């Protein structure tokens, strides 16, 4: 089955951990993930600026490793990311900000990527919504 996964909660939320576990289980079960789309506070899961205490789960780091290892299409909504200060190098340059908080394997793009994934996937699975 082809899954699209949307994540709406911040990196420290339990639903964000569940999203990663679901994504890992989907691949382990032989399914395909057509795209991960991080929206609203979900953009924090792509931030390399998050510092997690040593004895706690570093979810942004785990997401980064997971997406890189499986060469997944990981998209962070650009409007949601700008609003929350999760900028990549290009956007930090565009808006003259000092902090670059997101880079490869993540791509900043628009909501069209969410709709595109919905059309492409058999199932859209959402985590961390209201």
Partner 1 sequence: MAKSLLIISRQAPWSGPNAREALDIVLAGGAFDLPIGLLFLDDGVFQLAAKQDAKALQQKDLSANLQALPMFGVEELFVCADSAAERGLDPSAFSLEEALALTAHDITALIDRYDQVITL
Instruction: Give the chain's largest Cα–Cα span.
Output: 44
**Looking at beta carbons only, is 27 or 126 nearer to partner 1?**
126
- Tell me, residue by residue from 62 to 81, as one string, x for binding to partner 1 by CB under 8 A and - for no binding: -----------------xx-
**Looking at beta carbons only, is 27 or 124 nearer to partner 1?**
124
Rg (CA), the chain: 14
Please say whether the beta carbons of 111 and 6 come within 8 A. no
82 near partner 1, judged by CB under 8 A: no
How many other β-carbons are positioned within 10 Å of the β-carbon of residue 12? 16
Q: Which of 20, 34, 40, 74 binds partner 1 (CB under 8 A)?
A: 40
Residue 46 and residue 62: Cα distance in Å, rounded? 10
53 near partner 1, judged by CB under 8 A: no
**Looking at beta carbons only, is 50 or 82 nearer to partner 1?**
82
- Sequence-distant (≥ 6) Cβ neighbours of residue 122 within 8 angstroms: 1, 2, 3
The contact set with partner 1 (CB under 8 A) reads 6, 8, 39-40, 79-80, 83, 110-112, 114-115, 118-119, 123-124, 126, 129-130
């Amino acid at each position: 089955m082809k899954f699209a996964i949307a994540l709406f909660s911040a990196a420290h939320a339990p639903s964000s951990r569940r999203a990663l576990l679901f994504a890992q289980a989907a691949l382990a079960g032989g399914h395909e993930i057509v795209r991960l789309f991080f929206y609203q506070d979900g953009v924090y899961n792509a931030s390399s600026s998050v510092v997690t205490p040593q004895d706690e789960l570093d979810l942004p780091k785990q997401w980064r490793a997971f997406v890189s290892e499986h060469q997944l299409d990981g998209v962070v909504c650009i409007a949601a990311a700008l609003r929350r200060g999760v900028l990549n190098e290009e956007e930090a340059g565009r808006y003259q900000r000092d902090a670059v908080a997101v880079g490869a394997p993540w791509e900043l793009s628009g909501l069209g990527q969410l709709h595109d994934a919905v059309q492409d996937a058999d199932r859209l699975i959402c985590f961390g919504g209201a």
